[in-house]
Amino acid sequence: MSGTGGDRLAKDVPPRARDLADPDRSRDTPVLRLESVRKTYGSSVVLRDIALDVPAHTVTALIGASGSGKSTLLRCANLLEEIDDGAIFLDGEDITDPRADQDAVRRRIGVVFQAYNLFPHMTVLDNITLAPRRVHGVPRGEAEERARELLARLGLADRAAEYPDRLSGGQQQRVAILRAVATRPRLLLLDEVTAALDPELVGEVLSVVRDLKEQGMTMVIATHEMAFARDVADQVCFLDAGVILERGTPAEVFGAPAEQRTRDFLRRITEAGRL
């Protein structure tokens, strides 16, 4: 993917991401807040008393070994998993309250998984426009116009009529991200979006994420790409055995980690040539 991705996306930033002085929301209220969140599967505790604030227009990177709870945290934040204790707030609203409209909540949160999850029987254009049309009530013509603009800015205009199995892995993941962005989400959750890609395709997907960061999209990213997390994140959380063991700026966590478990993890990553 060329380095002009930022220019391509700059004219199509979701209004909520662009509007830094949103009169309907306090600047002091984080977009996402987790308070004492606990999640178990049977006797196994997957998340332990998780507390996390994600301010507007920032990127939070979740790092840690496989099985540390990163993906589960994202699934709980999007209400795909029911928490056992604690509370989760979206723009100050307790979305884990049983009275909360979960469908309405999910309409405000975009999610991209590592397995793309594109509908194989639908074209690229139909994949991107499905949620805006069916969930958000956007007229077909308007939804398709926006989708074509997004595709054009990422060099995928000629792929609109293709089916997912005709695309490379990197192209499929870029379409998956565009599908999430097309709904103009308040919050974007990315779960290991490069894990299923060949190494040469990772860069083009990370470039899209970097563009969204530059345009002010609020994101929480679970990733094994340590160099990317160091470069793009505003805060980094190291998860270990379901606990946020350490958090701070990239300089703090990667440059001077306070916890021995963090140091051990980063040492292994560095020895493997991934940082």
Domain regions of the chain by residue span: 5-16+29-119+185-271
Q: So what's the pLDDT on residue 26?
A: 52
- For residue 22, with 0-12 CB atoms within 10 Å meaning exposed, 13-18 middle and 19 or more buried, which class applies? middle
* Residue 15 reports pLDDT greater than 60: no
Least confident range of 2-6, 74-78, 96-100, 246-250: 2-6
CA distances from 256 to 62, 247, 260 (A): 17, 11, 11
> Mean of the pLDDT values across residues 71-86?
96
pLDDT of 18 reads 40
Q: Kindly list the distances between the CA atom of residue 185 and the CA atoms of 147, 195, 260, in Å, as whole numbers in the listed order.
A: 15, 23, 37
Average pLDDT estimate for 216-230: 94
CATH value of 5-16+29-119+185-271 in 3.30.750.24, 3.40.50.12780, 1.10.3470.10, 3.40.50.300? 3.40.50.300
Residue 107 has pLDDT above 50, yes or no: yes
Contacts of 148 (CB under 8 A, 6+ apart): 125, 157, 160
Cβ neighbours of 3 (radius 10 Å) = 7
From residue 67, alpha-carbon distances to 18, 39, 71, 150, 263 in Å are: 35, 13, 8, 34, 18
Mean predicted confidence (pLDDT) in 157-174 = 93
* Band of residue 150 on the pLDDT scale cut at 50, 70, 90: confident
Partnered with residue 39 across adjacent β-strands are 47
The structure's pTM equals 0.86
Q: Is the dihedral of CA 258, 53, 243, 36 positive or negative?
A: positive
Q: Is the pLDDT of residue 19 over 80?
A: no
